[in-house]
Structures are given as C-alpha cells and as structure tokens.
Amino acid sequence: MEQRLQELREEFERGEKQLALLDQKRQELRDTMLRISGAMQVLEELLSQGASVPQPSDTVEPQDTRLAAVG
C-alpha cells in the first residue's frame, strides 16, 4: 500500500505540473487574443472612418487664431 501511495503522489505531482503548464499556455493565448482583438478594433474603426479621413490634397491649412484675437 505504501508503494501504491507513492505512485499516486508522483502521478498527482505530474498532473499538477501539467496543469500549471496548461494554465500558463492559456494565459499566453488569452494575451495574444486580446492583442489581436485590439488590433482588429483599431482597423475596423479606421476602415469605418475611411470616407471621412481627409486625403493630403484635401487638407486645408489651419488658420492662426492668435492674430484674430489681438485685433
């Protein structure tokens, strides 16, 4: 019975180590998916604003409002 108990303890320890590795991999995958999700959101927002984003030839030079306030 002592030998079997030792075997079970060793098996349990191996299971704990495997579970810790899986938890680590799960966290890494979750982090990766979070980064991908953020990148997707940024790209979706940029694409949805595509029609309203001014092109370099459409830009108007900003006026200097400091001079208007002085006069």
**DSSP state letters, 17-36:** HHHHHHHHHHHHHHHHHHHH
pLDDT of 50 reads: 84
pLDDT of 71 reads: 45
Domain boundaries, the chain: 1-49
| Digit-coded pLDDT (tens) for 16-68 | 999 999 999 999 999 999 999 999 999 999 999 985 555 666 555 556 555 55
Rounded CA gap, 42 and 44, in Å? 5
Rounded CA gap, 67 and 6, in Å? 87
